[in-house]
Structure 1
Amino acid sequence: MKFFRRTLVAASLCAATLLILLSPASALADDSWWESGWSVIGFGGVLTTNKSSDIWLHGELGLSDDRLFGVGVSKRLVGITDDLDLEFEQQAVKHFEGQDNWEFNSIFMLRWKTFPWDSFIDTSFAAGDGLSIASETPKLESDRYGKNESSALLNFVLVEFAFALPDYPGPELVMRMQHRSGAFGLINNTSDASTAFTWGIRYRF
């Protein structure tokens, strides 16, 4: 019951935040806001065999047999400053080889858009957090940590760099780290679950 209560609270907070941001009563919800700031992305990548802490703190990196391909649709919600945007992205991801489940990820992202070299390569950096729901408990996560510390529903963290040509800002090359975890044990007593490195092409319109 504790797991379901925590899951319900997390899902409710995400849903409430999105409803507030998209509320017709908000100044954001006019026609010009709705018609601009969209993008679509296609990406592929591979899951690692390491915990995220081992990757970032100890430089250990091994690649699993699992391959993934996904698509995403995102929307710019609001410009916090001239340099910083808040976005929302919804992903659908299919895993192959090591495991064969689907994964659906809903992420709020903060995007920093200004770098000194933007006149040569237009660069942005984004970091986001949200929820990840798999069609079943992923096999790699279950094999690694056991069923008692695995879950189909987990927290989702994304870190991204995107690059575009200044004269052609529509298409972007995207490099991402995507990570599923239990948010330090908040969800199903899971700490670390899986980390993937992905590459893709996004088009903004």
Structure 2
Amino acid sequence: MAFDFRAILRATVLGAGLVLGLAAPASAGERAERARTLSDARPWAASLYVGTSVTDGYLRELIVSPQNGTYGDDTVVGAGLNRQLARFWRFFTVSAEAGGYYRFGQTEGGEFWANVGVSYDGFPWTDYVYTTIGVFVGPDYVTRLPAAETGTAAMPEENTSKWLNNLSPEITFALPSAPQNAVVLRYVHRSGIFGNINGVWEGSNTLTAGFRYRF
């Protein structure tokens, strides 16, 4: 019986190519899409936070030059629960969340919020680090006013309110293969939206870091 070595070689090469193709890791773009798919499959997320208050400085200034803030009057510890509601335009998601902190230190009081937000996860490095940025906004209530909102004895604030607006920009980092486990950096800003809530112009800021688990 004659053997066609060229046919055997072709079959071997094709078979090896098929095996290698099946075993090869996903391409960069596929890793990013898989990370989004895995994340979307777990619409709920629980977060734990720890951070510090920032007693002076405007939010826009602190984002650019965080070293100009005064930190540490309060240490905050808290948690939040988030529900992804929808994804749109491929890289954007809409979520609703609720959570709370306790302020240890000068304030010694609780803070609670209920927000809705939009996040973006279309960064070019998502193949290597699954990254999201988001902005959340909603009502915020404190059981005791932080010193940054009351002013000083010499210069007390004319208008204060336990109910204010919560504006929380955040950024998260996770492995593309496990987007359900993420590190979170979040800046929480309470304000009266330029005097539109009870005439309040002053606000307070909190810088937090935490861990988020999607399920």
Q: Where on the TM-score scale, by shorter chain, does this alignment land: which range?
A: 0.7 to 0.9
- Asked if structure 2 preserves the Cα contact closer than 8 Å seen for 1:98 and 1:140, the reply is no
Is 1:204 aligned to 2:211, yes or no?
A: no
- Asked if structure 2 preserves the Cα contact closer than 8 Å seen for 1:150 and 1:193, the reply is no
- Asked if structure 1 preserves the Cα contact closer than 8 Å seen for 2:49 and 2:211, the reply is yes
Cα displacement (A) at 1:82: 1.2
Letter of the structure 2 residue corresponding to residue 44 of structure 1: V
Match of 2:55 among 49, 63, 75: 49
Match of 1:112 among 120, 126, 131: 120
TM-score normalised by the chain length of structure 1: 0.77
Q: State the partner residue of 1:62.
A: 70
Alpha-carbon distance in 1 for matches of 2:50, 2:112: 15
Alpha-carbon distance in 1 for matches of 2:195, 2:42: 38
3-state secondary structure, aligned to 1:117 = helix
Alpha-carbon distance in 2 for matches of 1:199, 1:161: 10
Q: State the partner residue of 2:108.
A: 100
How do 1:1-205 and structure 2 match up within 5 A? Answer: 36-52=42-58, 53-56=60-63, 60-144=68-152, 146=156, 148-205=158-215
Alpha-carbon distance in 1 for matches of 2:116, 2:65: 28
3-state secondary structure, aligned to 1:129 = strand
TM-score normalised by the chain length of structure 2: 0.74
Cα separation, partners in 2 of 1:58 and 1:79, compared to 1, 3 Å: closer
- Asked if structure 1 preserves the Cα contact closer than 8 Å seen for 2:42 and 2:214, the reply is no
- Asked if structure 1 preserves the Cα contact closer than 8 Å seen for 2:56 and 2:148, the reply is no
Alpha-carbon distance in 2 for matches of 1:54, 1:188: 24
Alpha-carbon distance in 2 for matches of 1:126, 1:94: 23
- Asked if structure 2 preserves the Cα contact closer than 8 Å seen for 1:99 and 1:140, the reply is no
Segments of 5+ residues of structure 2 without an aligned counterpart are 1-40
Cα displacement (A) at 1:127: 0.6
Alpha-carbon distance in 1 for matches of 2:171, 2:46: 16
Letter of the structure 1 residue corresponding to residue 203 of structure 2: A
Q: Report sequence identity in percent.
A: 26
- Asked if structure 2 preserves the Cα contact closer than 8 Å seen for 1:173 and 1:200, the reply is yes
Cα separation, partners in 2 of 1:139 and 1:50, compared to 1, 3 Å: closer
Alpha-carbon distance in 1 for matches of 2:64, 2:106: 26
Cα displacement (A) at 1:139: 3.9
3-state secondary structure, aligned to 2:125 = coil
Alpha-carbon distance in 1 for matches of 2:48, 2:133: 18
Say how many residue pairs are matched. Answer: 171
3-state secondary structure, aligned to 2:56 = coil
Cα displacement (A) at 1:80: 2.4
Alpha-carbon distance in 2 for matches of 1:56, 1:166: 27
Alpha-carbon distance in 1 for matches of 2:156, 2:88: 42
- Asked if structure 1 preserves the Cα contact closer than 8 Å seen for 2:44 and 2:83, the reply is yes
Cα displacement (A) at 1:134: 1.0
